[in-house]
């Protein structure tokens, strides 16, 4: 009987905590997102006068919004441990970031682990499924200049044309540095069976923890944002790409990120919102490739991407067997780094969001009273 009461008490506490978390996040969205939009509306004259300053301010506020999402997981004990290359030294250089995709929680994980990577978060562009456009954060992503891509053969060719046009229009004009995409084109659980059938038909590697990547978006990004050299790779020589100090160098890196969840149980957005899972450490492995090593011709790039995802398969298999990623070549032990967020900084951002929400409510109420 005592055991039953104890279990019921724990269940009640989990439910109460979930309700409180959901209520806070709902209010948080109601004050933060409209405030972001209203601040930018107020700053439209600055956009005309000096667009670089406008997009700098927008980027700072965008980073704060992503930090708020990160704080929802942080206070529930959902943290990140990092492995592999340290990407912070190249945070000011342009890079294409390819990530494996297991669940909706992958985006939240990226929002968290990139917070301490300099200006990356405020200068990054996301490629995500068009469904995300209709979520609470969709309006923010639209304003920021992220690209929403529709999946399926019927839309593929048109979407790649739209992507190129989007990059030409927004990537440089808004001073973007990193562009993040999920080359698998969908969640692991949804694509695994189809990917394995395709691999068997075409004598490709059988993958379990990832799926075979799709070429389209990666190919367009490399062709659009990097200069092609005679050997078919994307140029990385500053003397050829940057004749003056004021010109951009173009893509300098491809960053291969591999997300691993303990016991292969992905975190989803519902877990981040309600916090019903016990504290969990998500592991992220980085590997950097200089852009000159990345082929840009379709066939060679396909082989290169397949090789990266075969490596991801091996990394994840090792992690699920041992609880850690394998050491880099030539080293005996793999070293990890605990990614941390400053609680005081998170509190200041949240305080600013709620203060802004109250201020804008008062302003709009005053305007309404004056008009009516």
How far apart are the C-alpha atoms of 278 and 283, rounded to whole Å? 16
> pTM here?
0.88
Beta strands 178-181 and 124-129: pairing type?
Answer: parallel
User: Mean pLDDT for each consecutive 10-residue tract of the chain (372 residues)?
Assistant: 66 83 92 96 94 95 94 92 94 95 91 92 90 83 91 80 94 94 90 92 93 92 74 46 52 96 90 89 95 92 95 95 88 86 93 95 92 86
How far apart are the C-alpha atoms of 96 and 122, rounded to whole Å? 15
Do 145 and 164 touch, CB atoms closer than 8 A? Answer: no
Nearest to 47 by CA among 165, 177, 118, 145: 145
What distances in angstroms separate CA 197 from CA 192, 230, 311, 363, one per listed residue? Answer: 9, 36, 20, 59
Q: How many CB atoms within 10 Å of residue 232?
A: 13
The owner of tokens 């905590």 is 17
Do 207 and 313 touch, CB atoms closer than 8 A? Answer: yes
Structure confidence at residue 314 (pLDDT)? 95
| SS3 letters across the chain | CHHHHHHHHHHHHHHHHHHHHHHHHHHHHHHHHHHHHHHHHHCHHHHHHCHHHHHHHHHHHHHHHHHHHHHHHHHCCCEEEEEECCCHHHCCCCEEEEECCCCCHHHHHHHHHCCCCCCCHHHEEEEEEHHHHHCCCHHHHHHHCCEEECCCHHHHHHHHHHHHHHHHHHHCCCCCCEEEECCCCCCHHHHHHHHHHHHHHCCCCCCCCCCCCCCHHHHHHHHHHCCECCCCEECCCHHHHCCCCCCCCCCCEEEEEEEECHHHCCCCHHHHHHCCCCCCEEEEEEEEEEHHHCECCHHHHHHHHHHHHHHHHHHHHHHHHHCCCCCCCCCCCCCEEEECCCHHHHHHHHHHHHHHHHHHHHHHHHHHHHHC
Do 232 and 295 touch, CB atoms closer than 8 A? Answer: yes
Token code pair at residue 253: 């890196």
According to DSSP, the residues that pair with 255 across neighbouring strands are 97, 288
Structure confidence at residue 5 (pLDDT)? 61
Residue 178 CB partners (closer than 8 Å, separation 6+): 94, 95, 96, 97, 120, 123, 124, 125, 255
Structure confidence at residue 37 (pLDDT)? 95
What distances in angstroms separate CA 358 from CA 28, 42, 65, 100, one per listed residue? Answer: 12, 16, 17, 40
Structure confidence at residue 61 (pLDDT)? 96
Structure confidence at residue 131 (pLDDT)? 79
Token code pair at residue 265: 């149980």
Phi, psi (degrees; rounded to nearest 5) at 284: -125, 125
How far apart are the C-alpha atoms of 173 and 49, rounded to whole Å? 14
Residue 206 CB partners (closer than 8 Å, separation 6+): 196, 199, 200
Structure confidence at residue 227 (pLDDT)? 59
Where do the domains of the chain lie, and which CATH numbers do they carry? 9-230+249-326+337-371 (3.40.1130)
Structure confidence at residue 138 (pLDDT)? 87
319-338 pLDDT, tens digit per residue, is 999 999 998 887 888 889 99
Structure confidence at residue 235 (pLDDT)? 55
């Amino acid at each position: 009987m005592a055991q039953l009461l104890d279990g019921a008490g724990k269940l009640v506490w989990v439910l109460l905590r979930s309700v409180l978390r959901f209520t806070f996040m709902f209010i948080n969205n109601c004050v933060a997102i409209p405030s972001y939009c209203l601040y930018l509306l107020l700053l439209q004259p600055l956009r005309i006068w000096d667009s670089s300053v406008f997009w700098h301010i927008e980027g700072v506020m965008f980073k704060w919004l992503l930090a708020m999402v990160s704080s929802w997981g942080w206070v529930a004990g959902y943290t990140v441990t990092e492995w592999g290359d340290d990407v912070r030294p190249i945070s000011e250089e342009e890079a294409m970031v390819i990530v494996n995709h297991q669940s909706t929680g992958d985006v939240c994980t990226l929002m968290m682990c990139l917070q301490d990577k300099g200006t990356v978060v405020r200068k990054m562009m996301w490629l995500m499924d068009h469904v995300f456009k209709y979520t609470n954060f969709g309006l923010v992503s639209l304003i920021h200049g992220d690209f929403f891509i529709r999946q399926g053969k019927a839309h593929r060719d048109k979407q790649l044309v739209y992507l190129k046009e989007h990059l030409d229009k927004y990537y440089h004009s808004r001073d973007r540095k990193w562009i993040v995409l999920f080359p698998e084109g969908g969640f692991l659980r949804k694509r695994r069976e189809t990917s394995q059938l395709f691999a068997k038909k075409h004598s490709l590697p059988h993958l379990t923890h990832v799926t075979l990547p799709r070429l389209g978006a990666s190919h367009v990004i490399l062709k659009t944002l990097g200069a092609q050299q005679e050997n078919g790779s994307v140029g990385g020589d500053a003397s050829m790409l940057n004749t003056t100090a004021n010109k951009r160098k173009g893509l300098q890196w491809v960053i291969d990120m591999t997300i691993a969840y303990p016991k292969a149980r992905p975190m989803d957005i519902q877990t981040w919102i309600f916090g019903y899972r016990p504290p969990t450490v998500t592991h992220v492995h980085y590997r950097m490739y200089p852009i000159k090593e990345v082929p840009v011709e379709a066939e060679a790039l396909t082989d290169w991407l397949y090789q990266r995802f075969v490596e991801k398969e091996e990394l994840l298999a090792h992690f699920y067997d041992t609880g850690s990623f394998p050491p880099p070549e030539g080293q005996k032990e793999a070293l990890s780094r605990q990614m941390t967020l400053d609680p005081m900084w998170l509190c200041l951002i949240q305080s600013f969001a709620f203060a802004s929400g109250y201020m804008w409510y008062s302003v709009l109420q005053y305007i309404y009273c004056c008009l009516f």
